[in-house]
Structure 1
Amino acid sequence: MSSLSILADGKLVGDNFHDWYRTLGIILMHEKLIDTIDKPVVPEPINNYDVEAVSAYKKYLEDFMSTKCLILASMSSELQRRHEDMDLIDIIAHLKKMYGAQSRTTKYQLSKTLFRSMFNMNAHVGPHVLNMINLIEQLEKLG
């Protein structure tokens, strides 16, 4: 199975940002492109006579473009249109800004529900335990 098909199966549509981002990180590690989103931007070499620095910068630009293409290909068409003219680093920052706050609110709501859960002494234990497990698993998915 190719990297692109894995990302295509889990296209970013918005509410699945954290799952998508985790999968993206795995794919980028496999493709040896993870540095393009985890490390600072490589500056263009000042001296064009330094062949090694120029070569490293060209490789960085190629990796940068490959990563951007992977990311855009793994998004819904609406998100592609919104982000296609953005720089790779700006795309990641914008997505985190858009969907990161949403997950904090969701985490808060789930935590509140979990911590306020009360067991009814007259009820069966099984459904209550399953509900608690479900809430914990949802929180775990959100990180």
Structure 2
Amino acid sequence: MPFKNNTTTPTVTTSSLTIRSILEKEKVSGPNFLDWFRQLRIVLKLEKKDYVLDEPILEELPTNVAKASKDAREKHVNDSTEITCILLATMTPELQKTFKFHEAFEMIEQLRVMFQVQAKQERFEALNAFIGCKMAEGSSVSAHVLKMKAYVE
């Protein structure tokens, strides 16, 4: 059910506030980048603001441009500011210091460069260990299942 503080504040839905709480569980620190980014996409998709991560803000538009284009750019700037704050709030203090002067699009581009390859490598290594894991003869099935579960996690 939507609620309003006053006539100038946009409507905020309870479901939007609830789904944003997903991002509060864990701050991006590097190794968890892919999981964090997937959760971020889910939240922003629900809010119809995920485009901010994929499109840079257009430069200042000339004065003779249509009002609709100016309004679209202004919406993008406002959404980007909001998402930038969310991104900073879900980062470790070290990353916050690094990105405090960046916009959302730039942050995501830099985080991908910093962490995506590392995270893929770690998953590749875990998958190889999982595939190559064989139960030793005479060992406990329970212990083997726990070991396999750890690789999956």
Q: TM-score, normalised by structure 1?
A: 0.79
Contact 1:4 1:74 in 2 (8 A): no
Residue equivalent to 1:86: 102
Alignment-derived partner of residue 34 in structure 1: 50
Match of 1:43 among 48, 55, 58: 58
The SS at the match of 2:91 is coil
1:6-34 Cα offsets, whole Å, 9 max, x none, are 43332223332222212211221233211
Distance in 2, Cα, partners of 1:8 & 1:118 = 38
* Counterpart pick for 1:114 among 130, 137, 143: 130
Alignment of 1:1-16 (within 5 A): 2=17, 5-16=21-32
SS at match of 2:27: coil
State how far apart, in whole Å, the 2-side matches of 1:79 and 1:99 are.
Answer: 12
**Residues 13 and 75 in structure 1, CA contact (< 8 A), matched pair in contact too:** yes
Q: Does 1:101 align with 2:101?
A: no
CA distance in 2, matches of 1:82, 1:49: 35
Larger RCO (CA under 8 A, 6+ residues apart)? 1
Residue ranges of structure 1 left out of the alignment (5+ in a row) = 139-143
TM-score by length of 2: 0.75
Partner of 1:76: 92
- Supply the distance in 1 between the matched residues of 2:34 and 2:74 (Cα, whole angstroms): 31
Find the counterpart in structure 2 of residue 66 from structure 1. 82
- Alpha-carbon RMSD: 2.2
Percent identity of paired positions between Structure 1 and Structure 2 = 27
Query: C-alpha separation between the residues in 1 aligned to 2:65 and 2:130?
Result: 62
Give the Å deviation of 1:107: 1.5
1:8 and 1:95, CA in 2 relative to 1: closer, same or farther beyond 3 A? same
Once residues 105 and 92 of structure 2 are traced to their aligned partners in structure 1, the CA distance between those partners, rounded to angstroms, is 19
Aligned residues: 136
Structure (1 or 2) with the greater helix fraction? 1
What's 1:141 paired with? none
Corresponding letter in the other structure for 1:43: L
* 1:8–1:74 Cα contact (<8 Å) kept: yes
